[in-house]
Amino acid sequence: MTEGRITLDGVDIRELPQEKLRNQMGYVSQKAVLFSGTIAENVRFGNQDASDEDVWQALRTAQAEEFVLQKMEELMQ
């Protein structure tokens, strides 16, 4: 970077430890990808302890509930 600065909560990212910076950032691809396994297993990928209600809430948040309802058999396999 040669000009300007990027800040998180007003702190220049160059002043933050790399580990802390990485913990504050994420990447979301615009292309949806399903791993092998059920849709529920895919949703639980980041939280194996997620309840069924957590899974459904995540699907609603992702606007994928209708798709999953159409694929209910795949979800329960």
pLDDT of residue 25: 83
Q: Is the pLDDT of residue 75 over 80?
A: no
C-alpha 21/C-alpha 9 separation (Å) is 12
Domain edges within the chain: 7-76
pLDDT of residue 1: 60
Mean pLDDT of the region 1-27 = 87
In sequence order, which residues have a C-beta less than 8 Å from that of residue 33 and are 6 or more positions away? Answer: none
Length of the chain in terms of residues written: 77
The model's confidence at residue 4, banded by pLDDT at 50, 70 and 90, is very high
Q: Is the pLDDT of residue 73 over 80?
A: no
Q: Is the pLDDT of residue 44 over 90?
A: yes
